[in-house]
Amino acid sequence: MQEIETARLYLRQFTPEDLDDLYRIYSDSEVMKYLSEGVRNREETAADLFGIIADWEKNAFGLWAVVNKENNQLIGDGGLRFLAKTPEVEVSYVLAKAYWGKGLASEVAAASLQYGFEVLKLEKIVAVADTANRSSRRVMEKVGMRYQHNLDHSDRVYSHFK
C-alpha cells in the first residue's frame, strides 16, 4: 500500500471501510459546490470509492484518503488521477469544510506533486478549478502551479494550471 506522511496528515490508500467518512464529506453541498459531480448520495459515494480503489489497481496511482494526524479522522481525498477524457494527470483535493483555511489542501497538493514527479517520474501534472473557486486557485499557486488558460466543460468554465 502506498502511503505518504506530511507534517499534519497521513495520505493512504482508501479501503471499503472508509465509505461512511467519505459519504459525510461528499454529501456536504458546500464541499461539493464547485465539483462537477456535485453532492453525492451514499450509493454514488460507494461507486466513487470503488472507482478510486480500482484506479490504484489499474494505474498504480490515484486519490489518497487524507487523514488528520491529530485525531486520526479521514477528512478528505487528494492525490493524482487522469483528468476526465484526457491523457493528462491532474492533482486533486477535497477536504471537509471544518478543515478549510488551514493550509491542508496545499499540504496534500504539494505531497501529491512531489510523489508524481519524484516517484512516478511524470513529466507534467495539471490542475483545474472552477473559475469562481478562488480558494482552490490559490492552493494551485501556493504549490508553484501557474494559470494557463480556461476550459469550457459541462456548462462550467475551469481554470487550467500547469
- Digit-coded pLDDT (tens) for 69-82: 999 999 999 999 99
Residue range 126-142, pLDDT digits in tens: 988 888 889 998 999 99
| pLDDT of residue 149 exceeding 80 | no
pLDDT value of position 132: 85
135 close to 142: Cβ distance less than 8 angstroms: no
71-77: list long-range contacts, CB under 8 Å, 24+ apart. Answer: 73/21, 74/18, 74/21, 74/22, 74/25, 75/25, 75/99, 75/104, 76/25, 76/108, 77/14, 77/22, 77/25, 77/52
Q: What is the pTM of this model?
A: 0.91
What is the longest distance spanned by two Cα atoms in the chain?
Answer: 39
